[in-house]
Structure 1
Amino acid sequence: MKTSRGYVAWLAVSGLVCVAITIFAASAYVTLDMSQARPPLHGPVHYGLLVAHIFTGTVAVLAGVSQFWPGLRARHPRVHRVMGRVYFAAVLPSSLLGVVCAQLSLAGLASQAPLTVLSALWFISAVYGLRTARQRKFGEHRIWMIRGFALTSAAVTGRLWGLLLGALMPEGDGLLIFATANWLSFVVNLLVAEWWIGSRGYARTLPSAALRPSISSRSAQSSASVA
């Protein structure tokens, strides 16, 4: 599929935005100073789990952005594979840590529910993305990677939704804005991802199971050719 300059420019801008916001968000935890943590915490253990989740998530965003760069897979397949392994090695623990951190949230169900759903879907997408890559089902792998990165980038879009909702409702309830931003962060991303998969025709290029000859039919064809 031909890659237009507009598409490359859009990827470059969105990739830079993702990287910039992710690094800015993670910068508060580089010093390991618990007083700089943004959400309220139970204590040092909670902080340690949160830091591990944030830093593995940061690696996932940085590695994931590289996977969508045009030409990387074709021109540098080894780099593509290595960065893919880095992505999965970051997403799998970060998503599990996300589930744990969600349960520890002091904001209650308003925070726990969306973050738990997000983390669970993030883990599932990574499992399917890794499995389809190992099975060399690259069409399905591409689709799961798009879905997976839509969930990975929820850390970025969640902050943008929070800023937007806060600006639109300056007197609004902070917890409600926070919860709404968390839901929108990945629900909208997934809707856009499904639209993107459909508009680019990725699902239509998948091999149909109905078109694959069965073992019995192949055996019959072999027997006929021998006869």
Structure 2
Amino acid sequence: MSNAKRLYSLMLIAVAVFVAYALYKNFVHDPQAAEFLGHKSNLKRELNVSMWLNVMYVHVAFACVAMLSGAVNFPSSIRTKYSRFHRINGYVYAISVLIVVLTSGYMAPYATGGKAAGMAFNLLNLLWPAMTLAAIVQIRKKRIAKHRKWMIRSYAFCFTNLSIHLLTTLATAGFGLAYATGYTIGVYGSIVMLLAAAELINRARNRRPTPS
């Protein structure tokens, strides 16, 4: 097995584990999101918990679909051997991203951390679909290499939730910050970190021949 295939296999395993964990946590372990909602006690606007939970369920479900469908589409062999599946699955990913950002747009005003965190989510809700659209535009123009670069940038944001919670934990447990402050730092930090990670991956790919 080549290094590329080995890395891809590890990525698939990591994605599957994270998706399983997200589904278990949000639909089985804590379907009422009691722990997370406990950090929203200082909201300046009234929260309709029932509506928020329903939107959150849709948000989580389609975030998992986006993460899985995006991961499946990355190998060049899928594009070359199963081009129809690759194309349909790509649109599944794009539609899932759209649903995720729309539901995120509803939840942004109620973000833990207040207006500052909500603004960060709204920024993310503009960046993610814009990058996904750029990937679609490039593939329709048959620019495969540019399409892959934009898809890497787009797919990086599938890990937003994971990176937010990692950075929040670092800020609260490591530096003793209040949860709301740490969460706000986590949201902004995740945007920067994921954009940087995508560019590092793209630069690393540029150092070796890219299949056209």
Task: Identify the TM-score tier after normalising by the shorter chain.
Answer: 0.7 to 0.9
| 1:31, distance to aligned residue in structure 2 (A) | 5.4
Measure, in 1, the Cα distance between the counterparts of 2:93 and 2:35.
Answer: 25
CA deviations over 1:117-155 (Å, ceiling 9, x no partner)? 112111111222222223333222111101100112222
Q: What number of residue pairs does the alignment pair up?
A: 201
Worse-matched range after superposition: 11-20 or 89-98: 11-20
Measure, in 1, the Cα distance between the counterparts of 2:30 and 2:160.
Answer: 25
1:24 aligned residue: 21
Worse-matched range after superposition: 9-18 or 149-158: 9-18
**From 186, 195, 209, the counterpart of 1:181:** 186
CA deviations over 1:56-113 (Å, ceiling 9, x no partner)? 1111011111122352222322322222121112111211221221123253124212
| 1:157, distance to aligned residue in structure 2 (A) | 2.3
* 1:141 is aligned to 2:138: no
**From 130, 136, 160, the counterpart of 1:130:** 136
1:216 aligned residue: none
CA deviations over 1:174-209 (Å, ceiling 9, x no partner)? 11221122222221111121122223229x98xxxx
Aligned residues of 2:69 and 2:89 also touching (Cα < 8 A): yes
Percent identity between matched residues is 22
Pairing 1:49-88 to 2, within 5 Å after superposition: 49-88=55-94
- Please report the TM-score for the alignment, with normalisation by the length of structure 2: 0.81
Worse-matched range after superposition: 97-106 or 48-57: 97-106
Measure, in 1, the Cα distance between the counterparts of 2:119 and 2:157.
Answer: 15
Measure, in 2, the Cα distance between the counterparts of 1:119 and 1:7.
Answer: 31
Aligned residues of 1:150 and 1:186 also touching (Cα < 8 A): no
Aligned residues of 1:34 and 1:44 also touching (Cα < 8 A): no
- Please report the TM-score for the alignment, with normalisation by the length of structure 1: 0.76
**From 107, 115, 137, the counterpart of 1:109:** 115
1:194 aligned residue: 199
Aligned residues of 1:46 and 1:104 also touching (Cα < 8 A): no
Aligned residues of 1:147 and 1:194 also touching (Cα < 8 A): yes
Question: CA, structure 1 residues 30+107, in 2 after alignment: closer, same or farther (shift >3 Å)?
Answer: same
